[in-house]
Structures are given as structure tokens and as C-alpha cells.
Amino acid sequence: MEITKRKEQDVSIVSVSGRIDAITAPDFEKSLDELIAQGDRVLLIDLSDLGYISSAGLRSILSSAKKLKALSGEILFTGLQGPVEEVFQISGFKSIFKIFPSETEALGSL
């Protein structure tokens, strides 16, 4: 798993590639927590290059989303594809999170 972060206006864009499984999920959650701790309130997570996610990854996402919501923030997604999209679909995450076809559209919605 590799994570790259950059800032666009007030939004932190987090691109994650590789795999978020039970082994890497704690590091992913730590990364999101660091952004929340430094004051970021809107995270856009780009999943274009993510090949695999398990329930451990969804757990990390939900945990961070709950923390952010309590702070009036939110997590948005873009780049949903393949097996990752399937997992989002089955788990219902596709309907509880805001998901955008592109980064531009996600930023434009704010």
C-alpha cells in the first residue's frame, strides 16, 4: 500500500494504491487520523489505483468518517473501480458515502 497526499483548496486529496487489507489497514487509518488531527475536515480519497480492499479497510474508513462527521467534516471518494467498487457496493458504502466520477467533480461539489 502506498499513500500520497496533497492539498487542493481546503481539501486533502489522499491517493491510495495497492492493497488495504488487515495488515495495511491500521497504517491507512493512521494516515487519515493524522490529517484530521492537523485540522483537515474534507478528505477526498482517490481509489483509482487500489486493487484490493477488505472489511478491515472499510473499518478504517468508517472509523475516520465517524470522527470527521463529529467535527462537521466528511470523506468523499473518487476513482471507484473493479473489485474495490464491488466491495463498496456489497457493503452499502456506495450509498452512505459521496462518490464522484472525477476529482474535478468532487471539488466542484463543495
Partner 1 sequence: MRMAENVHTLCSIELPAVLESLPGFVAGITRYAREAGFSEHRLGAMELAMEEAIVNIVKYSSTSPESVITITCATDDKEAFYITIIDNGPPFDPLKKDTPDTSAGIDDRPIGGLGIFFIKEMTDGVTYAREAGRNILTIKMKKQ
Q: What gap in Å lies between CA 87 and CA 99, rounded to an integer?
A: 14
> Quick one: which of 57, 44, 26 has its CA closest to 99?
44
Rule CB under 8 A: say whether 4 interacts with partner 1: no
Rule CB under 8 A: say whether 33 interacts with partner 1: no
Strands (E), 22-110: 42-46, 50-53, 74-78, 98-100
Rule CB under 8 A: say whether 71 interacts with partner 1: no
Instruction: Candidates 4-12, 20-28, 38-46, 99-107: pick the segment binding partner 1 (CB under 8 A).
Output: 20-28
Closer CB to partner 1, 3 or 58, in the complex: 58
